[in-house]
Structure 1
């Protein structure tokens, strides 16, 4: 919501998903407009490697874990492969070495798709690897969304 309150309500999360959906639409449109110029092997590999390297190992470890706890390395791997910063660096190196190609749009299509279609962002260590309601967040969301119509000052006193 802001730099101090680092959580989203259903509405703000939905708006962020909408923004990612718009970016996804732009990338897919460009991809389709240049379909004849897309090299398919790089496009498929660039799209798939993000989950093959970043998601699948953690998902398998999570499903095999009796407690649902897995090493932080899986979170780091997921966050590295699902980060726009990491992927921008990869695209920059690719462009410098091999030049621009439309297959590179597979990367933002994947990242924007994860965010827009599934609501997935980077994974904090404090939550389970797979989406599962955190009891503290459920309580916070209920409290915040329940008071959404009544502004509160920084001292917790109602302003109206």
Structure 2
């Protein structure tokens, strides 16, 4: 994934998840280390507000929708509540108004868990609110797999890969220079 290709292959998606799993494990370590110091009422509230405001309304709307299409506002709510920027702002506001406390670990615990354990990242408007197979995403994923499935150490350009030519019925590019 890069600035010109904001899409991930299954391998890079799993590597991305693994990074969040490490952060999740570190957060769990801090929670266990400071278990008796945590205000559990505050921690549970901090954990729950993210989904109560950001996920549950969209999930209800999605399940009630006949065609799975729901207003973009639900995506915005989800993305806002599950953003590391938002949870950092909530944490900073909490520390300013109430003071620092270990209950704030519930914020990264929630977001890192969603991303690392469940694979739920921010939701784009063009995909269903709930995870489901999308044919266009499947096509892009298949293309990325074909390009990376070479015998040599370097992936072939998409257009030159035999599997791509077989799938599209196209001839190899002639006179292509790099």
TM-score (norm 1): 0.94
Q: How does 1:49-128 map to 2 (within 5 A)?
A: 49-128=49-128
1:152 matches 2:157: yes
Unaligned runs of 5+ in 1: none
Bigger RCO (CA 8 Å, 6+ sep): 1
Shift of 1:154: 9.9
What secondary structure does 2:138 align onto? helix
User: Structure 1 CA distance, aligned partners of 2:57 and 2:26?
Assistant: 30
User: Structure 2 CA distance, aligned partners of 1:110 and 1:154?
Assistant: 42
Maintained 8 Å contact 2:38/2:101: yes
Shift of 1:134: 1.7
User: Structure 2 CA distance, aligned partners of 1:82 and 1:26?
Assistant: 19
User: Structure 2 CA distance, aligned partners of 1:108 and 1:74?
Assistant: 22
User: Structure 2 CA distance, aligned partners of 1:19 and 1:5?
Assistant: 20
Distance 1:92 1:104, change over 3 A: same
TM-score (norm 2): 0.84
Regions of 4+ moved over 6 Å: 153-156
User: Structure 2 CA distance, aligned partners of 1:111 and 1:52?
Assistant: 14
Aligned twin of 2:9: 9
Larger radius of gyration: 2
RMSD over aligned CA atoms reads 1.9
Aligned residue pairs total: 159
Aligned twin of 1:32: 32
Unaligned runs of 5+ in 2: 161-171
Maintained 8 Å contact 2:143/2:158: no
